[in-house]
Amino acid sequence: MSLNPLLAGIRVLDLSRLLPGPFATLYLAQLGAEVIKIEEPNGGDYARLTPEMFEVVNGGKKSVTLDLRKAEDVAAFKELVKSADVVIESFRPDVMGKLGCDYETLRAINPKLVFASLTGYGHTGPYRNRPGHDMNYRGYAGELSQTGAAGDAPSAGNFQVADLAGGALTCVVGILAAVIGARASGQGSFVDVAMMDGTLALQVLTLAGMRSTGKPAPRGGDILSGATPNYRIYETADGKHVACGALEYKFFANVCQMVGRPDLLKLPFAVGPKGEPLRQGLAELFKSKTRDEWEALLADGDSCVSAILDMDEVLANPQVQARGIVQQQNGKPVFANPIQFSHARTLNGASPKLGEHNQEILGR
């Protein structure tokens, strides 16, 4: 049995900053790639201004300092490109060209190079040069219009859907596909990932609904966004909440049996006013006990009803601990890679100091 990381031997030059790009290369580093952060000498990645954020997305990487506005540092970067498999950057389109480090220039140095550009809107289209952040990409992609309770304003939440899922993870898929292709054909690739595109592509059920009705469901009006009484969030007696995910009849029947309310099965599983009697009945039911009492009664009973936990509770959760997804780094929690392999291991290293690996990699 080999316990080598699966991406051992892959070298990644990471010019990205803040959250989306560094989160993408965090996955690559955890899977065994050598990820070298290319940072400006004066301050480096802007995320270093918030050390806790920097540390949770830059573990296991190396750091060198180069100022790509200086000819000698551009030359040093191009020397690194000769031995690199991947370059990833998150500047606006045309910035790398102005620095003399665009894909066409770098592929002349290394034809097998995979050059990934992770931007808000991509390298084509009328929005290509617009600035933006997660909320902007989600808004343009229509995701925010679907997020929140019926009748309420859109809700951003504290999960950066566009940055992390639409952007970073989509970029990882593109990079890995291009690396496999380069190894098979000898030809690298320019990987153009727009966070707006990636966020839009996640909304398959919203699109399916539009294909059926010709228009999107209103916020909170879809079967999986709280419109049906048996797939909904309910408040409990202590002001906390449970997720009732008893979408299928068999699970809801189990809930009704365990709580001694077979009468609820007679009420319609309906969207809109017809479902109001069941919604009201379940709201009153769940308000009769605390969240933890419901968890103790229902969670192990094949019910699809579970507690909604705060993050401090999540970190102490026995399922989380059993899976090993939370690790300690310098006495503080970090996330391990969530993928577990039968014949390979993932890595969890400390985040680098600015320029920590200059001597090792640049010889200076």
Q: Which of 67, 123, 133, 292 is catalytic?
A: 133
Same domain, 281 and 236: yes
Same domain, 70 and 156: yes
What confidence score (pLDDT) does residue 247 get? 95
Tens of pLDDT, residues 179-220: 999 999 999 999 999 999 999 999 999 999 999 999 988 999
Same domain, 187 and 47: yes
Q: Does residue 58 belong to any structural domain of this protein?
A: yes
* pLDDT over 80 (residue 137): yes
The tokens for 106 are 């770098």
What is the residue range of 41's domain?
A: 11-202+329-362
Tens of pLDDT, residues 71-107: 999 999 999 999 999 999 999 999 999 999 999 999 9
Same domain, 170 and 85: yes
Same domain, 43 and 145: yes
Tens of pLDDT, residues 40-75: 999 999 999 999 999 999 999 999 999 999 999 999
Q: Are strands 86-89 and 62-65 parallel, antiparallel or unpaired?
A: unpaired
**What value does the mean pLDDT of the chain take?**
97
Which residue in 3, 229, 234, 189 sits closest to 85, CA to CA?
Answer: 189
Secondary structure of residue 113 in the 3-state scheme:
coil
- The one-letter amino acid code at 310 reads D
Instruction: Calculate mean pLDDT across residues 223-240.
Output: 95
Give the separation between CA 244 and CA 263, rounded to whole angstroms. Answer: 18
Sign of CA dihedral 155, 157, 162, 163: positive
* DSSP string across 327-345: EEETTEEEEPPS---SS--
Same domain, 260 and 198: no
The CATH number linked to 267 is: 3.30.1540.10
* pLDDT over 70 (residue 35): yes
Q: Which of 100-109, 150-159, 331-340 has the lowest mean pLDDT?
A: 150-159
b (16+ CB within 10 A) / e for 255-294: bbeebeeeebeebebeeeeebeebbeebeebbeebbbeeb
Residue 101's Cβ-side half-sphere holds a number of Cα atoms within 13 Å equal to: 30
For residue 307, give Cα distances in angstroms to 238, 300, 315: 12, 12, 14
Q: Which of 33-37, 149-153, 188-192 has the lowest mean pLDDT?
A: 149-153
What confidence score (pLDDT) does residue 3 get? 85
Question: Does 163 qualify as catalytic in the annotation?
Answer: yes
Same domain, 267 and 342: no
Q: Which of 14, 85, 134, 163 is catalytic?
A: 163
- Report the share of the chain in percent with pLDDT over 90: 94
Beta-carbon contacts of 256 under 8 Å, excluding residues fewer than 6 positions away, are 262, 263, 264, 265
Tell me the pLDDT band of 2, cut-offs 50, 70 and 90: low
Question: Does 152 qualify as catalytic in the annotation?
Answer: no
Q: Does residue 219 belong to any structural domain of this protein?
A: no
Same domain, 185 and 77: yes
Instruction: Calculate mean pLDDT across residues 268-286.
Output: 93
Q: Does residue 3 belong to any structural domain of this protein?
A: no
For residue 332, give Cα distances in angstroms to 26, 55, 74: 17, 10, 37
How many structural domains does the chain have? 2
Same domain, 141 and 18: yes
Instruction: Say if residues 226 and 146 touch (Cβ distance below 8 Å).
Output: no
Same domain, 236 and 333: no
What confidence score (pLDDT) does residue 1 get? 47
Same domain, 65 and 131: yes
Same domain, 357 and 289: no
The CATH number linked to 51 is: 3.40.50.10540
Tell me the pLDDT band of 270, cut-offs 50, 70 and 90: confident
Residue 227 CA, chain-centre distance (Å), reads 26
Which residue in 359, 361, 358 sits closest to 41, CA to CA?
Answer: 358
Which residue in 173, 194, 181 sits closest to 31, CA to CA?
Answer: 173
